[in-house]
């Protein structure tokens, strides 16, 4: 299954044509995919913010943003510019260093996790061997940033919000990791590329969602809880805690939290589509399309077609999930903190453990369906 465009190789050969050594070419190459992915993440946030405004308006029978661009598509940019030029305030009694470091510690791990998101066979920043485990490890850093900003704000609402955020993300990380483990068990690999390739056998029929329906639901609930989206947005519950750990923040520091939470939402949607919905795979296998068009799988046309379909499919699946998340946010009430912790520890944790055990048993019983 080693096909697909290798842009890095082409780019390096192109630079070597100018007489540069391969090391220099590699150094010039390294920042390019990172910047591209950062750009994609920020554009993704703008699109998601617009969707959130429009869908929430539709859910509440309003029109929503209308005047900034056609259908208000420029509204998120206006929001961003407003936050960018606002005054940066550090409260007098706050702890300046921790207050500034908090938002950074929240945002950086989320952006780093994009390292492992593949948009195609070779379309990712780095195919690290530990793949999905890197994301689990990185997402566990976030609560430190939340606790830090909650503490540094010197405000009891902030502190409560930070403590709630940490408690929530600790309790939901375990079922999340266990449901990922069931997928890894079926794939025999932690790499996201291998996880998608293992689902690409028979198009839509071989997606993991059919083999891991329980894991899919557990993962999605936990991902929403990790993103602090509305059924689980206790850390920033407006009616009780003003805005939780964000209460004292303004301007660009607040924007970092905002950006972090939306990038995290898109990242979670992308990871659900990679783990359970076949990643960049088209519902019909590409090999069949190539056979139908009477072209070999290595033909340049098919290569470009595969890569474009891959990107479109990944983004489409991710945004379908983002749509569901937004709809959930504007139609469901918030759970109480004890209900949240009960759900995490007494329901999701046993269910994901049983799911892991059953997956292991099925893998031994039917190795051809559950990965040998």
Partner 1 sequence: MSIAITTQIICFTILSLVILIGALGVVLLESIVYSAFLLGGVFMSVAGLYLLLNASFVAAAQVLVYVGAVNVLIIFAIMLVNKKEDLKPINDIKSRRIISTSICLTLLSLLIRVDLTNVWSLSSPQNSIGEESTIRIGEHLFSDYLLPFEVASVLLLMAMIGAIVLARRDVMSKDISTGLPVDQELLEKPSEQLLTNKN
Binding site for partner 1 (CB under 8 A): 23, 27, 98, 128-130, 133-134, 136-138, 140-141, 143-144, 147-148, 150-151, 159, 162-163, 166-167, 170, 173, 190
CB of 110 to partner 1, least distance (A): 14
Nearer residue to partner 1 within complex by CB, 148 or 302: 148
By beta-carbon proximity to partner 1, the closer residue of 44 and 162 is 162
Residues contacting 214, CB < 8 A, separation 6+? 179, 351, 352, 355
- Please give the C-alpha separations between residue 171 and each of 14, 165, 179, 182, 237, in angstroms, as whole numbers: 49, 10, 14, 18, 18
Closest distance between partner 1 and the C-beta of residue 24, in Å?
A: 8
Q: Which is nearer to partner 1, 25 or 315 (CB)?
A: 25
Output 142 or 208, the one with its CB closest to partner 1. 142
Q: Smallest gap, in angstroms, from Cβ of residue 150 to partner 1?
A: 8
Q: Which residues, other chains included, contact 314 with Cβ-Cβ below 8 Å and sequence gap of 6+?
A: 118, 119, 120, 270, 273, 274, 279, 280
Of the two residues 133 and 330, which places its CB atom closer to partner 1 in the complex? 133
Distances from the Cα of 229 to the Cαs of 165, 213, 308, 329, in angstroms?
12, 22, 31, 7
- Nearer of residues 178 and 313 to partner 1, judged by Cβ: 178
CB of 259 to partner 1, least distance (A): 22
Does residue 105 contact residue 144 with C-beta atoms inside 8 Å? Answer: yes
Q: Rank residues 51 and 128 by Cβ distance to partner 1 and give the closer one.
A: 128
């Amino acid at each position: 299954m080693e096909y697909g465009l290798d842009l890095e190789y082409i780019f390096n050969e192109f630079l070597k044509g100018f007489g540069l050594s391969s090391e220099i070419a590699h150094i010039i190459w390294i920042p390019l995919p990172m910047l591209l992915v950062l750009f994609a993440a920020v554009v993704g946030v703008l699109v998601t913010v617009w969707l959130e405004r429009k869908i929430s308006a539709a859910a509440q029978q309003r029109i929503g943003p209308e005047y900034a661009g056609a259908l208000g598509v420029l509204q998120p940019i206006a929001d961003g510019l407003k936050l960018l030029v606002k005054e940066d305030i550090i409260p007098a009694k706050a702890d300046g260093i921790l207050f500034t470091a908090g938002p950074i510690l929240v945002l950086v791990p989320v952006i780093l996790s994009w390292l492992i998101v593949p948009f195609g066979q070779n379309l990712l920043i780095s195919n690290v061997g530990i793949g999905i485990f890197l994301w689990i490890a990185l997402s566990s850093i976030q609560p430190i940033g939340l606790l830090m900003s909650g503490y540094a704000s010197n405000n009891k609402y902030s502190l409560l919000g930070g403590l709630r955020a940490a408690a929530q993300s600790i309790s939901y990380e375990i079922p999340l990791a266990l449901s990922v483990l069931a997928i890894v068990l079926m794939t025999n690999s932690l790499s996201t590329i291998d996880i998608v390739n293992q689902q690409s056998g028979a198009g839509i029929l071989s997606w993991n969602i059919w083999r891991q329906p329980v894991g899919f639901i557990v993962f999605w609930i936990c991902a929403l809880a990790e993103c602090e989206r509305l059924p689980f947005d206790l850390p920033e519950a407006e009616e009780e805690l003003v805005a939780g750990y964000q209460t004292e923040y303004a301007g660009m520091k607040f924007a970092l939290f905002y950006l972090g939470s939306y990038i995290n939402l898109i990242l979670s949607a992308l990871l659900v589509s990679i783990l359970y919905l076949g990643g960049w795979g088209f519902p019909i296998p590409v090999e069949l399309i190539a056979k139908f068009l009477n072209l070999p799988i290595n033909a340049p046309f098919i290569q470009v077609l595969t890569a474009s379909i891959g990107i479109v499919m990944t983004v489409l699946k991710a945004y379908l999930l983002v749509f569901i998340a937004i709809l959930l946010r504007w139609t469901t009430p918030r759970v109480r903190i004890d209900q949240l912790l009960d759900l995490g520890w007494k329901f999701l944790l046993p269910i994901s453990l049983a799911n892991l055990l059953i997956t292991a048993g099925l893998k031994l019983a039917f190795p051809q369906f559950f990965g040998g």
